[in-house]
Chains A and B, each alone.
Chain A
């Protein structure tokens, strides 16, 4: 953790937040995950641990979250509706809080068709909005979907995802409003490569008064090769790469694409920071997690290292103290209150 206040404190303070994304290993060895997470300590406020991302089986996100915490970075546990019915979703949410996971990110999940086991039964018992709603009810009202009372309320910060670029264009800001209504307190977006389109979406989001009650972290990441570029253009549903980005990456010699991709990512981060209402960035760099600090440094997001030797590798410290019993944002801050750029 960068400064001991955790993601919740960071977002509440209005300072620009940084999260990153890590996929747990396909295997039972926690060391590989620790090696990916440890270099991010002091650079990010929290790290997402994905939940069978892309419908490929990996170590469970709750266990990955514990490993991340041991490695010194606060986890955001991703939880998808694809693999669990409503009973399992609720018990996993209780478990997450019980072991001290301070943030959860609730999403529908990629369809099994795209993963390594397309023969699996897709569950989708709840959708992401219903799961957000259930989570808020568990935490704020102390009740399960069944209405039964919980002995102890969970305490996580509730996150969601949104894709500002997918059709129907007129409904994407409204869809975020729906998620905020259901319970989302922060949202991480799909990769932003088209900054003007993102800014237009942010204007709609601001119009709906959302940044005050649901913090927005823009998804960013480096394109490291032309092969990756082609994959992102055609192989990832809902990802939009504008022509100018495509041309720029193709215009440099093949051995310079990686560097250009990192430079582009840093530039995009700098542009995003100027957009009113944006609370932070979420960096996704699969296979290149060790390069995230360099990207952040280039984007001007390097932080002073913690002076007290760093709080927290233990899970239950840090976030409990500054949690409010209901929403994390009791008073609506002013729009664009991301003052500490």
Chain B
């Protein structure tokens, strides 16, 4: 797991990215919203009858749903680097998006985090899980990170996670440690 052989071949000069940030893989994104504000918004956006009604209405009008989804993509993309996996873990990952991890790890950091907290794949960026931990810790939400995140349903990529959240479709995204099984409600 640790042995490295010879130095990897360099990519052809013309293909070399200008900086690692422009690399082909997801790269860690530092959220542009303080954790405290994000958790406050969480209370505002918590599912209620009005949101459920809105989500239900949107689901019935494809054009409206497309506009709403596009708006979500732009907003969450700008603030969190959201890649529209459609199954949002932000509320339990310190509002730092794990899909921006180059390995897209949903359950915590890999073992390659640099001593300075840098991402092993993009050494000039901070590991998104280090950021998630720091934000969760500041807001007293570290236990959120212990939840077991189920595998992503790739069929939901590009769909509105807000609509799913309000409709209650996200209940099975994660489970408490030692409870339930990995796909309990996904079948």
Mark A residues whose CB is within 8 Å of B. Answer: 21, 23, 48, 50, 53-54, 56, 78, 81-82, 86, 107-108, 110-111, 113-116, 118-119, 122, 124-130, 133-134, 137, 141, 143, 145-147, 161-163, 165-168, 170-171, 174-175, 177-178, 181-182, 190-191, 219, 231, 235-240, 284, 286
How long is the Cα–Cα vector from A215 to B77 in the complex, in angstroms? 42
Q: Determine how close the nearest CB of chain A comes to the CB of B129; give it in whole angstroms.
A: 7
How many Å lie between the Cα of A162 and that of B154 in the bound state?
27
A118 touches B113 (CB 8 A): no
Interfacial chain B residues near A119, Cβ < 8 Å: 11
Q: Name the contact of A125 in the complex, choosing from B109, B116, B142, B151 (C-beta under 8 A).
A: B151
Of B105, B133, B146, the contact of A108 (CB 8 Å cutoff): B105
B134 touches A168 (CB 8 A): yes
Q: How far is the CA of A89 from the CA of B181 in the complex (A)?
A: 18
Q: Which residues of B contact A111 (CB under 8 A)?
A: 25, 102-103, 112, 120-121
What's the Cα separation between A190 and B109 when bound, in Å? 14
Distance in angstroms between the alpha carbons of A161 and B112 in the assembled complex: 12
Inter-chain contact A166/B25, CB cutoff 8 Å: no
Q: Which residue of B lies closest to A105 (CB)?
A: B1
Q: Which residue of A lies closest to B133 (CB)?
A: A168
- A168 and B182 form a contact (CB under 8 A): no
The smallest beta-carbon distance between A29 and chain B, in angstroms, is 17
- Shortest CB distance A332–B (Å): 14
Given contacts A50-B1, A137-B181, contact A238 B112 (CB under 8 A): yes
Determine whether B127 belongs to the interface, using a CB cutoff of 8 Å to chain A: yes
Which range holds the interface residue count of chain B? 35 or more
Our pick among A81, A108, A143, A284 for the contact of B2 (Cβ within 8 Å) is A284
**CB nearest neighbor in B for A134:** B182
Residues on B with beta carbons closer than 8 Å to the beta carbon of A115: 8
CA distance A161 to B108 in the complex (A): 13
**Interchain CB contact under 8 A, A56 and B2:** no
In the bound complex, do residue B3 and residue A146 qualify as a contact, i.e. CB atoms below 8 Å apart?
no
A286 touches B3 (CB 8 A): yes
| Cα distance, A240 to B145, chains bound together (Å) | 25
Q: How far is A291 from B40 in the complex, measured between Cα atoms in Å?
A: 58
A-B interface contact total, Cβ < 8 Å: 175
Contact of B149 among A129, A174, A219, A284 (CB under 8 A): A129
Contacts known (A146-B183, A168-B109, A237-B112); A124 close to B145, Cβ less than 8 A: no
Report, nearest first, the 8 A-B pairs whose CB atoms are least far apart: A237-B112, A163-B111, A237-B120, A129-B107, A286-B3, A168-B133, A181-B177, A166-B113
Q: Which residues of A contact B177 (CB under 8 A)?
A: 177-178, 181
Complex Cα gap A113–B7 (Å): 11
Determine whether the beta carbon of B137 is less than 8 Å from that of A170: yes
Does A127 lie within 8 Å of B107, measured CB to CB?
Answer: yes
Residues of A within 8 A of B142 (CB): 170-171, 174
7 A-B residue pairs with CB within 8 Å: A128-B105, A134-B151, A137-B183, A146-B187, A167-B114, A178-B146, A237-B120
Judge if B155 is at the interface, Cβ distance under 8 Å: no
- Are A54 and B4 in contact, with the CB atoms below 8 A? yes
Residues of A within 8 A of B152 (CB): 125
Task: State whether A166 and B111 are in contact (beta carbons under 8 Å apart), knowing that A111-B120, A133-B148, A235-B4 are contacts in the complex.
Answer: yes
State the CA gap A145–B181 with chains docked (Å): 9
A118 touches B8 (CB 8 A): yes
Output the least CB separation between B19 and chain A (Å).
Answer: 14
Residue pair A124, B105 in contact (C-beta under 8 Å): yes
Among B9, B111, B145, B182, contact of A190 (Cβ-Cβ < 8 Å): B111
Smallest CB–CB gap between A80 and chain B, Å?
8
Residues of A close to B133: CB separation below 8 A:
168, 170-171
> A21-B2, A130-B149 are known contacts; what are 8 more A-B pairs with Cβ within 8 Å?
A82-B103, A108-B103, A116-B5, A129-B148, A166-B109, A171-B108, A171-B109, A181-B148
Which of B3, B6, B9, B120 lies in contact with A238, CB distance below 8 A? B120
Given contacts A137-B181, A178-B148, contact A23 B3 (CB under 8 A): yes
